[in-house]
Amino acid sequence: MKFEITYIFGKQRPVTLFARQLGTGDFTLSDAPMLGGVPIKRYMSQPRSITPDGRPDLSQFAFVLSTANDLPRLGVGQIVELT
C-alpha cells in the first residue's frame, strides 16, 4: 500500500509521521512493518483531520518510527510503500 508523507512531528520522541493513503483498500501492519524501507512500530492511529470541504479525512494515518535515527531517510511529500 502506498502513502504520501504529509507531516512529520519530530520535535520530541517518538517521531510520528502523518501519511495519506493513496488508493483504496484495507491494510494491516505485519510483525515487522516498514514505511519506505524504514522500520516503524506496530502501532498506528487515525488523527482527527478534515478535508477542505469539512468532512473527516479517513485517508490520513499516523505512524511511529522505531528509531528517530531513521528520520533523515523520509521527508514531507515523499511517496512510500508500507510493507
Indicate the domain borders of the chain: 2-81
Q: What are phi and psi of 69, to 5 degrees?
A: -65, -20
Strand pairing category for 16-22 and 2-9: antiparallel
What confidence tier does 77 reach under pLDDT thresholds 50, 70, 90?
A: very high
The residue among 61 and 11 whose pLDDT is bigger is 61
- Is the pLDDT assigned to residue 11 strictly greater than 80? no
Give SS3 for 14: coil
Considering the entire predicted model, what is its pTM? 0.90
**What are 38-76's pLDDT values in tens digits?**
999 998 899 888 889 999 999 999 999 999 999 999 999
pLDDT of 8: 94
CA distances from 19 to 13, 22, 51, 65 (A): 18, 9, 14, 12
Q: Could you give the CA distance from residue 7 to residue 14 in angstroms, rounded to a whole number? A: 14
